[in-house]
Chain A
Amino acid sequence: MFLLLLKKQMTELFRGYFVDRKTGKMRPKSQVIMFILLFIGMLVLVSNAFSGIAKVLAASLIPEGYDWLYFALLGALTIAFGIFGSVFNTYSMLYLSKDNDMLLSMPIRPSVILNSRMASVYILSIIYEAVMYIPALIEYWKAAEKNALNIVFPSLNLFISGFAVLALTCLFGWLIALVSSHMRNKNILTVIFSLGFFALYYVAMFRLNIFLNVIMSRADEFAAKIQKYVYFLYIFGKGSTGDTKNFIIFALISFALFFIALSIMSKSFIRLATANKGMKKKAYKSEAVKSKKIGASLFSKELSRFLNTPIYLLNSGLGILIAPVGAIIALIKRADIHRVLGAMNMPEQVTLILPVMITAAICLVYSMDNLTAPSVSLEGKSLWILRSLPVDTKEILGAKIRLHFIFNSVPAVISAILFGAAFGFDIITIILISAAAVLFNLMTAASGLMLNLKKPDFMWTNETIPVKQDPPILFSMLIGMGSSAAGLGIGAVFGMIHTYLGLAAVCAVYGLVALLLLKKVNTKGVKLFENM
């Protein structure tokens, strides 16, 4: 039964890669292979970013005999990344599935339902951990002398540490569920918890470089402190280098953590999974009856869903905050920026294209944030409402585009202004960067929507699937990243003649593509929606 339920969970998560959700038919093999390769390609891309950190640490720690410290540090990062990757889905995956009532009414032990859901969280967290841990392993084997134990143990530690990650993420999900069951506005709580976690994660990541430098310069002192105060990381590190005793202790502690989490959660699973998921009880007042124009009403509907669906808000809206926060930090540190730029003695061409590079960076951040890519799938089984109402399909699709456009463009313009002030750009440059970011968001809004119109998925049991797992999300991110890179290339070519020319070229390309895509949404997109 456990395997059957796990298969159901995994099929739901990755079904989009194998089955055309619109027709329900299996995809052709070539398409499945392409989707899988793209998924692996994305993982390799992210993985590559971490191999630099591993390489630097391996070069400085392994020759000094601090192999275990190398693993302890990268193990900490791996565990943090594993938690970061799965923590936001855990609550909804464990407790909010739409098939809760059905499964609980069947002759299945609730513990089996819980275990199968935890197993799918485990698999997801292993994927996230592997992204960081595999480059760490490769760099280690390149730098250290290999033997059977230091090949097998660190490899197994990836799967063993997954149990510790699982315990922590599940306890986080359980904590949210527990507090939620006593609170009226559950969605806000989930968002506050998650944003708090985000803040911690990003503060840690921003300070990572400083932290690593300190470790490398004072490795002895640091190793002693880890050994004394963070025993869990110490035994992870020692075990990974081939120390059998510490490998076993680490495995026992990880399994123990998992069983503690499992026993805590088992006791309250039925109560929390069947808790009333309603929101704040609010008395009805006839003043609440108000009129709006159709366009405003459709926008308000999209906004309501965005703000009241935590997984949508957190996953699709993350980029909204990242760029302005980065820009504020740049503004605070502008003296340092100018000092570094001055010391670098950059060639004139590079100075000319610096605004283009900032534009590409802003666009790259917003490429990770697509509100339209899951927006059609999220209509789910309530699609009949829009299909039966006398509303022009262009207005329905327009509201989805406006939501993405407004939520991304406003902070993108704020970021452009702040970055402009931090780097000392003139007003025309700032206006052009803002325009490029705005047009980029218009373009990604239209491309995300077209992707979802082509590959909608209405058969989900959990919002995590359309928001995080379905192909339109992956493709919209890839297209966004590719467009940022293309913008950088085009802008750099023209920017070397004049900054304004480079930025204007980026604006022209993004504007033109946005126009073409919007036209496509209003023609082919409308037909696709009307045939759903």
Chain B
Amino acid sequence: MLRIEHLTKTFGDKKAVDDLSLHIAPGEIYGFIGHNGAGKTTTLKSCTGILNFDEGEIFIKGMSIKENPLECKKLLAYIPDNPDLYDYMSGVKFLNFIADVFAVPTAQRRERIDKYAELFEIKGSLGDSIQSYSHGMKQKLAIISALIHSPELVILDEPFVGLDPKSAFTLKQIMREICNNGGAIFFSTHVLEVAEKLCDKIAIIKNGKLIRSGTMEEVKGDSSLESVFLELEG
């Protein structure tokens, strides 16, 4: 579903991501962990076509994000770590905008908005201006907007920050559901317990370089993910 090959991205003199390669297959939840500034967000943003990169290639379902950005973007959804949305719109107007971009038919978008807004308990606020939303509500709205076109690949940057426990649980269930239906999830997190329980595979990045990746068992063996991570980071 997502193939990252020898990705390198430089900001000025600093290599934010250095020769990183990863392969995420359909049906996989792939966790991405690393210290602050390790290069997680840069990698995720490169996969979504937000950032242009210097070297390497990123393929989504075999299509290059460089060569076919629009076709690739149609297949994916991205949720950033800080959901800065259009404050001047109401929640429903924002969802309509995203659904328009993905050409989601009215009946389907209505059904999905109703379903997810009820799951995340935000339906009563959809008519309000986003300006009045709390951080958690904006995060929920960003998640709904990401799911509205039934993406095959979902890329999430710290998706559980700001979510209440119930919504975090709902999101985990949705992530698993997407993978069960043949999709894939690639997400970054600092919450190692979540990564350990939720992910099929995991990658650890340090100073822009991939230092360990594979199935949970391959990465952590008999230890806890936390102790492996601390050992590798040390």
Interface on A for B, CB 8 Å cutoff?
276-286, 288-294, 296-297, 300-301, 304-305, 308-309, 380-382, 384-385, 387-392, 530-531
Contact = CB atoms under 8 A, between A and B. Distances in A.
Contact of A286 (B102, B103, B114): B114
Interface of B: 45, 48-50, 52, 69-74, 78, 80, 82, 84-93, 95-106, 109-110, 113-114, 117, 123-129, 131-133
10 contacts: A284-B127, A286-B113, A289-B99, A291-B109, A300-B97, A304-B93, A382-B85, A384-B84, A389-B98, A389-B102
A281 B128 contact: yes
A293 B100 contact: yes
Given A290-B96, A300-B97, A305-B86, 4 more contacts: A297-B101, A389-B101, A390-B69, A390-B101
Nearest to A305: B88
A387 B80 CA distance: 12
Nearest to A278: B132
A285 B113 CA distance: 11
A283 B110 contact: no
Nearest to B69: A390
B139 to A, nearest CB: 14
B127 A385 contact: no
A338 B93 CA distance: 52
A350 B59 CA distance: 67
B84 A388 contact: no
Contacts of B117: 284
Contacts of B127: 281-285, 288
B100 A292 contact: yes
A285 B71 CA distance: 33
Contact of B124 (A284, A294, A387, A390): A284
Nearest to A307: B88
Contacts of B96: 288-292, 297
B70 A385 contact: no
A308 B103 contact: no
A282 B126 CA distance: 8
A388 B69 CA distance: 9
A308 B88 CA distance: 6
A380 B82 CA distance: 13
A309 B105 contact: no
A299 B99 CA distance: 15
A388 B132 contact: no
B70 A392 contact: yes
A381 B123 contact: no
With a 10 A CB-CB cut-off, give which of A305, A387, A531 has the most chain B CB atoms: A387
B132 to A, nearest CB: 2
With a 10 A CB-CB cut-off, give which of B82, B100, B126 has the most chain A CB atoms: B100
B92 A277 contact: no
A284 B91 contact: yes
B126 A530 contact: no
A88 to B, nearest CB: 18
Contacts of B49: 387-388
A279 B86 contact: no
A300 B88 CA distance: 12
With a 10 A CB-CB cut-off, give which of A278, A301, A388, A391 has the most chain B CB atoms: A388
B65 to A, nearest CB: 11
Contacts of B125: 284
Nearest to B102: A390
A86 to B, nearest CB: 24
A279 B132 contact: yes
Contact of B97 (A284, A301, A384): A301
B232 to A, nearest CB: 30
B80 A390 contact: no
A279 B128 contact: yes
Contact of B131 (A278, A297, A300): A278
Nearest to B75: A390
Nearest to A25: B12
Contacts of A384: 45, 50, 78, 80, 84
Contact of B52 (A278, A293, A389, A531): A531
B117 to A, nearest CB: 8
Contact of A304 (B48, B85, B86): B86
Given A297-B96, A300-B97, A389 B73 contact: yes
With a 10 A CB-CB cut-off, give which of A276, A284, A305, A391 has the most chain B CB atoms: A284
Nearest to B123: A284
B106 A288 contact: no
Contacts of B103: 294
Contacts of B97: 297, 300-301
B100 A291 contact: yes
Contacts of B123: 284
Given A301-B89, A388-B48, A389-B98, A289 B129 contact: no
Contact of B50 (A277, A305, A309, A387): A387
Nearest to A380: B84
A414 B109 CA distance: 40
B85 A385 contact: yes
Given A279-B131, A281-B128, A297-B100, A291 B88 contact: no
A283 B124 contact: yes
Nearest to B48: A388
A513 B127 CA distance: 43
Contact of A284 (B45, B100, B105, B126): B126
A283 B117 CA distance: 14
B42 to A, nearest CB: 13
B126 A277 contact: no
Contacts of A300: 97
B162 to A, nearest CB: 15
Nearest to B47: A388
Contacts of A308: 88-89, 129
A285 B126 CA distance: 9
Rank and list the top 8 A-B pairs by shortest CB-CB distance, nearest first. Answer: A278-B132, A297-B100, A390-B73, A282-B127, A284-B126, A308-B88, A381-B84, A284-B127
Nearest to B130: A278
B109 A278 contact: no
Contacts of A290: 96, 106
A530 B65 CA distance: 13
B89 A304 contact: yes
A389 B80 CA distance: 13
B92 A309 contact: no
Contacts of B128: 278-282
B132 A390 contact: no
Contact of A385 (B86, B106, B126): B86
A10 B6 CA distance: 44
A477 to B, nearest CB: 25
A381 B101 contact: no
